Amino acid sequence: MKYRICAVVPAETAHDLTAMLEKAEKAEPDLIEIRMDYLAEDFKSKDVRKLTDIPLIATNRPRKEGGLFEGPESKRIDLLLRAAKDGFDFVDIELMPSRNMSLVEKINSMGVKTIVSFHNFTSTPSLSEMHRIFQKMLETKADVCKIVTKARSVDDNLSILRFVRDASKESKVVSFCMGKLGISSRILSPIFGAFFTYASLERGRESAEGQLTIDEIRAVHSFLGVK
């Protein structure tokens, strides 16, 4: 089994984006997440799609969800839909039960897969609470369910890995703990059944606390005897 790694590209300019995608091509990750909300310039998804054949995830995270996008919600969603139209492979949307299903249907109708995300930036909920959130995600019919929490203790890694082990039997799942105490869950989650884990291209370009580089994750996987 191949343990997938998604390289995160948090570029702030078009020039920086091109350079980071060139670096990503050399690193050969399984997927690349383009953090659209980091770009100060207008985002041209059609041009970005031409720069690589590696599967792309479009993410445009609003400030209230830990991202940098501060414009109107309608514009944020329109940019994601444009990325889908322009050939991105996945679109990441936040868990909003009141409208997720219609948005998932719209994106899927373009031949693009959806990732529905939930973030808790302060703690890791109980196992039962994570499964409750997961059930809401399943109702949206999204292709991938993503639950990311904050590790307040080493034990939180055990909780999220148990969740991944069980939930991955029902759907494609991405789940791990943020923060320095959550590093082990980032490394181990694919081994426990997660669809992929995130990594930065280099030190200093992390998009979240505790994020390792591609080389670091691969080195640990190699040490553990997995690929």
Return the active site residues. 119, 146
The answer to whether 30 touches 6, Cβ cutoff 8 Å, is yes
Determine whether 126 is exposed, middle or buried from the number of CB atoms within 10 Å of its CB (0-12, 13-18, 19+). Answer: exposed
Beta strand pairing call for 56-59 and 90-94: parallel
Q: What share of the chain is helix, strand, coil (3-state, %, to 5)?
A: 40, 20, 40
Residue 200 DSSP label = E
Place of tokens 């980032």: 186
Q: How far apart are CA 37 and CA 40, in angstroms?
A: 8
The DSSP secondary structure of 22-66, one letter per residue, reads HHHHHH--SEEEEEGGG-SSPP-HHHHHTT--S-EEEE--BGGGT
